[in-house]
Structure 1
Amino acid sequence: MSVHTSDSEFWLFGYGSLIWKPPPHFDRRIPGYVTGYVRRFWQSSQDHRGTPEAPGRVVTLIERSFWETLDDHHTSESDKVWGTAYRIQADKVAEVREYLDIREINGYTIHYTPFFPSDGSDHISTLVYIGTPDNDQFMGPQDPQKLAEHIYRSVGPSGPNMDYLLSLEVALGGLSSESGDEHIKDLANRVRMIERADSDKSHTTDQAIDHKLKRIGSTDEQEETEK
């Protein structure tokens, strides 16, 4: 029997920074995947990895059936989008649900999707925030090199856009032997090449990025709810 999101048990799926920056008040964290979607850096970020004047880019999920109608430079052979499901403590569900509903802005809306744990156990119904193609922050297909250059130079209140990309690459690699994402890997490789060629760089990937799971104690401490 599968587990469902309800008023007493609330599961959240993270496919971007939530993989390494979990929500507050979770008591279970499960790696796994959803199907029927493609993950892309096609969402504009004016609030975390960019500014209104110079938006960065963060990931969103695209329904695979819609994505197949688009002219994308990156292929996606796998039907699995890997990430992490979090179960929120029962006595904190109302607080976290209200917090997420308020904080999740900049084009993202609430959806529900089956999540399949990596250990093969029964699927879970999870809430997920998605920037759908009809929101005004959705950018659509972009040339990979231009996108990598945009990510490289973008900075927002939560830090450099490239840190988000490189942290996501590392976080995905730690979930499973099959959890890598070619779209993410290609962009990360392009950003590293841009940085090596940039003799006037002011930010370097030689600076260690802390990829450890960052548990926080309250909604007030949450830096970002990026997906």
Structure 2
Amino acid sequence: MVFWIFGYGSLIWNPGFEYDEKMIGYIKDYRRVFDLACIDHQGTPEHPARTCTVEQKEGAVCWGAVFCVRGGPEKEKKAMEYLERRECEYDSKTLVDFYKEGDSSLQPAVTGVIIFTSTPDKVSNKYYLGPAPLEDMARQIATAFGPNGNNRDYLFRLEKTMFDIGHEDDYVIELANEVRKVLGIPGKGILMEKLVGVGAPHIPHEAHIPSLQLHPLPEAIAMDS
């Protein structure tokens, strides 16, 4: 038995599990959004971060990386248990077709690929934040932090990763630039940082940035395997 998992956020640069094959490519009819709460990595229940999820949109393309896990039931079980703990704020698994970068056949390279998704409903999905004005989202991302670091660093790393694989995401760039504006960081985008040879300056947690009033969210509960 073999399974494939598609990463569109931090899994691209930090899968965290043993895999046998990785390919860059995309899935169709999904787009990346920052509409999901994260309360155990870059946020807390009192001050949730905004993390990446995908939503269905006809004609959209979402670039990322697919990972293959093969080698027997124990290896596959271990990888999936790790993923379910890590992605515990996502309430669904969806099967999609994956298209490999550079493949001119227009046929999926892999079918039945797993992606972790979230139900876009605040009643049935307690971690779904929904869309918000860009300025409000940027202020939330600029100020949220948790056990694994700052929410803004997650966003900036995603922006850089998409640049590095050659498939920048306009939505991610727009949101990252708005966060830079909140933080008072000059310049726009990872491309500008590469051209001038500098990265984003360190902004301490205590930096005075007006924050949003957010309602606490419940503790994360890992999905059953």
Please tell me the TM-score bracket, short chain as reference.
0.7 to 0.9
What is the rounded CA distance, in whole Å, between the counterparts of 1:93 and 1:83 in structure 2?
Answer: 21
Matched residue SS, 1:17 = coil
- Per the alignment, do residues 197 and 15 of structure 1 end up closer, same or farther by CA in structure 2, a change over 3 Å counting? closer
Q: Which amino acid aligns with 1:41?
A: F
Matched residue SS, 1:98 = helix
What is the rounded CA distance, in whole Å, between the counterparts of 1:55 and 1:98 in structure 2?
Answer: 24
Q: TM-score, normalised by structure 2?
A: 0.75
> Does residue 124 of the first structure (1) align with residue 113 of the second (2)?
no
Match of 2:164 in 1: 174
> How far did residue 22 of structure 1 move?
1.3
How many residues are treated as equivalent by the alignment?
181
CA contact (8 A) 1:107 1:136 kept: no
CA contact (8 A) 1:10 1:90 kept: no
Match of 1:61 in 2: 54
What is the rounded CA distance, in whole Å, between the counterparts of 2:150 and 2:48 in structure 1?
Answer: 11
CA contact (8 A) 2:90 2:116 kept: no
> How far did residue 16 of structure 1 move?
0.5
Bigger relative contact order, structure 1 or 2, given CA contacts below 8 A and separation 6+? Answer: 1
- Calculate the aligned-residue CA RMSD, in Å: 2.0
Structure 1 runs of 4+ off > 3 angstroms? Answer: none
What is the rounded CA distance, in whole Å, between the counterparts of 2:93 and 2:53 in structure 1?
Answer: 12
Q: TM-score, normalised by structure 1?
A: 0.74
Alignment counterpart, residue 105 of structure 1, candidates 71, 74, 88: 88
Match of 2:223 in 1: none
> How far did residue 24 of structure 1 move?
1.0
> Does residue 40 of the first structure (1) align with residue 40 of the second (2)?
no
Match of 2:67 in 1: 86
Q: Which amino acid aligns with 2:118?
A: G
What is the rounded CA distance, in whole Å, between the counterparts of 2:39 and 2:201 in structure 1?
Answer: 26
What is the rounded CA distance, in whole Å, between the counterparts of 2:129 and 2:92 in structure 1?
Answer: 16
> Does residue 137 of the first structure (1) align with residue 127 of the second (2)?
yes
> Does residue 30 of the first structure (1) align with residue 27 of the second (2)?
no
CA contact (8 A) 1:36 1:79 kept: yes
Matched residue SS, 1:39 = strand
Match of 2:171 in 1: 183
What is the rounded CA distance, in whole Å, between the counterparts of 1:102 and 1:194 in structure 2?
Answer: 32
> How far did residue 197 of structure 1 move?
6.5
Match of 2:200 in 1: 205
CA contact (8 A) 1:32 1:85 kept: yes
What is the rounded CA distance, in whole Å, between the counterparts of 1:29 and 1:197 in structure 2?
Answer: 34
> Percent same amino acid among aligned pairs?
33
What is the rounded CA distance, in whole Å, between the counterparts of 2:87 and 2:139 in structure 1?
Answer: 26
Structure 2: gaps (5+ residues): 187-198, 203-225
What is the rounded CA distance, in whole Å, between the counterparts of 1:165 and 1:80 in structure 2?
Answer: 19
